């Protein structure tokens, strides 16, 4: 194997990130990955956000700025400008590199940046008056980047994801819209039940079935009006406590199914999301208590700019034997949202029966998935992500998977050669593999 010095040098390699494309429509696409350049986008970003009423919290400057800071250098921005300098679109993206055991190849997955932080919605922030020209320009820029798979899950407009797919050359890319079913295919996770909020809570109740309406009123009288249960709202003083309670209960429910490591990662991401929302006055986190015992907690994003409340995550005590406590807390959140002037209550991903029983009407999201028809080492990894490949090889060696590590090291050698990078030294990795007699 040729000497490939990636021990420390590849991990510190400056990314090759120049990308400026001009199409026939006189639209320029720039790849933004420096904090200074990103900061310059704040005012045009906010101006575009005001125009694009189909965007929301997850494409707001506040949310993307937090991602750019906390997930750097994974998060970058594709910015589209017109010939007069006006910005037409921003598409936050992130890349992750994985080692495929089945193909014995490195793969780069390109996706909306929000998915790194479990954003409920993704997509493109776009001037609606120029959508038909802007999205194809973004498609050309995406096609020019190195990646093996492009995935855009939870895109809310449908139009923009279709425009993007149609603009990718069919001879080079194959794409489709995927389904996403969970719970043994009983729940469609691309459906988001939503309620258009009426003038008052009673009017919302009147639109439900008689059985659901009576159930909510009966539980309200028995548990809330009697004082047996009470609801608290998050504040600066209770934020840490309330997040701990919510995420601890969430973990208790899901750790057996997801595994401890995945559950820990998810709660860490949720904590970041909810702390960011709270800093900007957009966290709604009611907790239902029986005395000093928390029963149920609902973490929601209250998007004041759009008038939408997005239910994101629930925590429920395993000792809570009241089956309708979650239903009651949703009812009270809807009451709160109506009183606060919100126009829509979004139950989040999945068309579970209880969401429909509370008046939810499905909003369809799209899941676009694209692969290259043929691959070269230049497409396998963006030099931006070479350090991820080095860390993966280290992990394979550490876990005794020396044969796989040899394959990965050979693939990395091809990639570095294809990109005509300097002949960096990875003798440290090579020597570890040579020292293993079972490799």
Cβ-defined contacts of 228-233 (< 8 Å, 24+): 228/290, 229/288, 229/289, 229/290, 229/295, 229/325, 230/288, 230/289, 231/286, 231/287, 231/288, 231/289, 231/329, 231/332, 232/286, 232/287, 232/289, 233/284, 233/285, 233/286
The domains located in the chain, with CATH, are 17-181+368-381 (3.40.630.30), 191-364 (3.40.630.30)
Higher pLDDT, residue 419 or 2: 419
pLDDT value at position 26?
Answer: 83
Residue 4 has pLDDT above 60, yes or no: no
pTM (2 d.p.) = 0.88
Q: Give me 253's structure tokens.
A: 């429910």
Residue 422: per-residue pLDDT? 59
CA distance 280 to 158: 29
In this structure, are residues 288 and 295 in contact, taking their beta carbons and an 8 Å threshold?
A: yes
For residue 424, pLDDT over 60 is answered with no
Q: Give which of 111, 72, 91 is closest to 31, Cα–Cα.
A: 91
- For residue 339, what pLDDT is reported? 98
Report the C-alpha gap between 433 and 427 in whole angstroms.
10
User: Using CA atoms, how far apart are residues 26 and 147, in angstroms rounded to an integer?
Assistant: 26
pLDDT at residue 439 tops 90: no
Q: How far is CA 243 from CA 176, 238, 330, in A?
A: 38, 8, 18
Position 385 pLDDT exceeds 80: no
pLDDT tens-digit map of 96-135? 888 888 888 888 899 999 999 999 999 999 999 999 999 9
Q: Encode pLDDT of 67-94 as tens digits.
A: 999 888 889 999 999 999 999 999 999 9
Structure tokens at 36: 């200074």
Q: Is the model's pLDDT at 323 over the cut of 70?
A: yes
Contacts of 430 (CB under 8 A, 6+ apart): 1, 3, 4, 409
How many other CB atoms are found less than 10 A from the CB of residue 74? 18
The average pLDDT across 342-347 equals: 98
């Amino acid at each position: 194997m040729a000497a490939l010095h990636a021990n420390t040098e590849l991990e510190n390699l400056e990314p090759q990130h120049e990308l400026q494309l001009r199409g026939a429509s006189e639209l320029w696409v720039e790849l933004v990955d420096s904090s200074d350049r990103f900061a310059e986008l704040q005012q045009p970003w906010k101006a575009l956000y005001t125009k694009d009423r189909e965007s929301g919290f997850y494409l707001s400057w506040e949310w993307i700025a937090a991602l750019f800071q906390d997930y750097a250098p994974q998060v970058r921005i594709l910015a589209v400008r017109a010939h007069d300098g006006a910005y037409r679109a921003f598409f936050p993206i992130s890349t992750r590199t994985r080692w495929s055991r089945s193909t014995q190849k490195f793969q780069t997955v390109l996706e909306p940046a929000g998915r790194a932080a479990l954003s409920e919605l993704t997509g493109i922030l776009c001037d609606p008056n120029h959508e038909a020209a802007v999205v194809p320009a973004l498609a050309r820029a995406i096609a020019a980047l190195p990646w093996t798979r492009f995935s855009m899950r939870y895109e809310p407009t449908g139009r923009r994801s279709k425009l993007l797919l149609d603009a990718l050359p069919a001879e080079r890319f194959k794409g489709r819209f995927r389904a996403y079913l969970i719970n043994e295919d009983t729940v469609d996770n691309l459906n988001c039940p939503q309620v258009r909020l009426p003038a008052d809570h009673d009017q919302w109740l009147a639109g439900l079935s008689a059985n659901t309406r009576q159930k909510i009123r009966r539980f309200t009288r028995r548990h809330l009006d009697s004082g047996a249960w009470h609801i608290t709202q998050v504040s600066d003083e209770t934020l840490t406590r309330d997040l701990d309670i919510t995420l601890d209960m969430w973990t208790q429910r899901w750790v057996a199914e997801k595994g401890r490591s995945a559950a820990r990662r998810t709660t860490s991401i949720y904590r970041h999301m909810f702390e960011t929302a709270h800093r900007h006055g957009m966290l709604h986190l009611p907790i239902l208590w029986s005395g000093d015992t928390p029963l149920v907690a609902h973490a929601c994003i209250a998007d004041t700019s759009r008038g939408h409340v997005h239910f994101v995550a629930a925590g429920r005590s395993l000792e809570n034997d009241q089956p309708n406590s979650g239903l009651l807390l949703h009812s009270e959140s809807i009451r709160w949202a109506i009183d606060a002037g919100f126009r829509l209550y979004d139950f989040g991903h999945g068309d579970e029966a209880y969401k429909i029983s509370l008046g939810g009407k499905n909003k369809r999201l799209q899941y676009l998935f694209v692969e290259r028809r043929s691959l070269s080492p230049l497409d396998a990894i963006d030099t931006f992500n070479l350090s991820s490949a080095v860390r993966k090889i280290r992990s394979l060696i550490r876990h005794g998977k020396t044969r796989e590590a040899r394959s990965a090291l050979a693939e990395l050698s091809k990639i570095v050669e294809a990109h005509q990078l300097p002949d960096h030294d990875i003798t440290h990795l090579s020597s570890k593999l040579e020292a293993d007699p079972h490799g």
